[in-house]
A = this chain, B = another copy of it.
Amino acid sequence: MALQGTRLAYKEYMVEEYVLTKEPFYLPVADEVQLFEAAHAQKVPVLLKGPTGCGKTRFVEYMAWHLGHPVTVVKRRSSDGDSNRSLPLVTVACHEDLTASDLVGRYLLEGGETRWVDGPLTRAVKFGAICYLDEVVEARKDTTVLIHPLTDHRRILPVEKKGQLVEASDGFLLVISYNPGYQSALKDLKHSTRQRFISLEFHHPPRELEKEIIRHEAGVDEEIANNLAKLGEKVRNLREHGLQEGVSTRLLIYAGRLMQKGISARRSCQVAVVWALSDDYEVQRSIEEVISTIFP
């Protein structure tokens, strides 16, 4: 209403049309690319384990791009002749109120009729997209009903509300992630679910690699990038000093970006690392000591 006649800058996509248009920046640590390729070819579902911000989402995006190029059965928008397209990637950040209906779809009222709208998982199943369920243990348990028949020899999605079964298209692969650090009795992955995936373990990148990532993402010079990577390494070693989880690469990049805008190195690290990681005075002091040795 009030928006009529306004030129707004945002863009909207249908979920399954959300394809990456340029190669994501990802530096492989080991043979994770080959393992993912093999799993995708063999239709073996994949579980990514690892701490917050260690690059799991970026890796899935990289694989979607990578797998999208040799493969040619990928859907294209009619108005777009560009073949530089990734495999479609449908990402869902799971949370404790996410239900099966949120993933599969629901009926909406329209013109006095109910119209069915496919959910993101159904769209991925039909399109043969990669469906990435981030932190799947957080989701409500009725999502299990969807994961199980999709991850055994049947590769079938039950759409209960329509009384239907949908067989997955060829390219479809289910990828889930999970942070073992949060593991608790209540939120653990049940074995009947877990044993349906191969697992790839992720850790924070080694210093050399992290330096490259920071340099690329924050736009800082090699020295600053190296110092920030060194900071990351040292802060992660502080975990026994009351720090619940190590610093993510993302926060180090934030520090770099603030420096790019003229904020001093130590102040940048304070707001992007110290205060961001902890509210505890003692822990904050420990991290600040580390910073002062790196950025004297």
A residues whose Cβ falls under 8 Å from a Cβ of B? 1-3, 5-6, 8-18, 31, 34-35, 37-39, 41-42, 44, 47, 49, 52-53, 57, 73, 75, 78, 91-100, 102, 106-114, 117-120, 123, 125-128, 134-135, 138, 140-145, 148-149, 152-153, 156, 158, 160-170, 179-180, 182-183, 190-192, 194-201, 217, 244-245, 247-248, 250-251, 254, 257-258, 260-263, 267, 271-272, 275-277, 279
Knowing A78-B5, A169-B9, A195-B251 are in contact, say whether A141-B138 is a contact too (CB < 8 A). Answer: yes
Cα distance A34–B43 in the bound complex, in angstroms = 34
- A167 contacts which chain B residues (CB < 8 A)? 10-13
A145 near B93: Cβ-Cβ < 8 Å? yes
B126 near A198: Cβ-Cβ < 8 Å? no
Known pairs A195-B248, A199-B275; list 7 more (Cβ under 8 Å): A37-B261, A42-B260, A97-B99, A138-B144, A197-B276, A198-B275, A200-B271
Cα distance A162–B257 in the bound complex, in angstroms = 34
How far, in Å, is A193 (CB) from chain B's closest CB? 9
Cα distance A251–B191 in the bound complex, in angstroms = 12
B163 near A117: Cβ-Cβ < 8 Å? yes
Cα distance A145–B112 in the bound complex, in angstroms = 31
- A113 contacts which chain B residues (CB < 8 A)? 109-112
- A95 contacts which chain B residues (CB < 8 A)? 100, 141-145
Cα distance A173–B10 in the bound complex, in angstroms = 13
In the complex, what residue of chain B is closest to A4 when comparing beta carbons? B78
Nearest 7 interchain pairs by C-beta: A38-B261, A199-B275, A97-B142, A180-B279, A9-B169, A52-B192, A42-B257
B152 near A250: Cβ-Cβ < 8 Å? yes
A15 near B163: Cβ-Cβ < 8 Å? yes
How far, in Å, is A92 (CB) from chain B's closest CB? 7
A75 near B6: Cβ-Cβ < 8 Å? yes
Cα distance A113–B247 in the bound complex, in angstroms = 49
Knowing A258-B42, A262-B38 are in contact, say whether A276-B102 is a contact too (CB < 8 A). Answer: no
Cα distance A37–B52 in the bound complex, in angstroms = 27
B163 near A118: Cβ-Cβ < 8 Å? yes
- A94 contacts which chain B residues (CB < 8 A)? 145
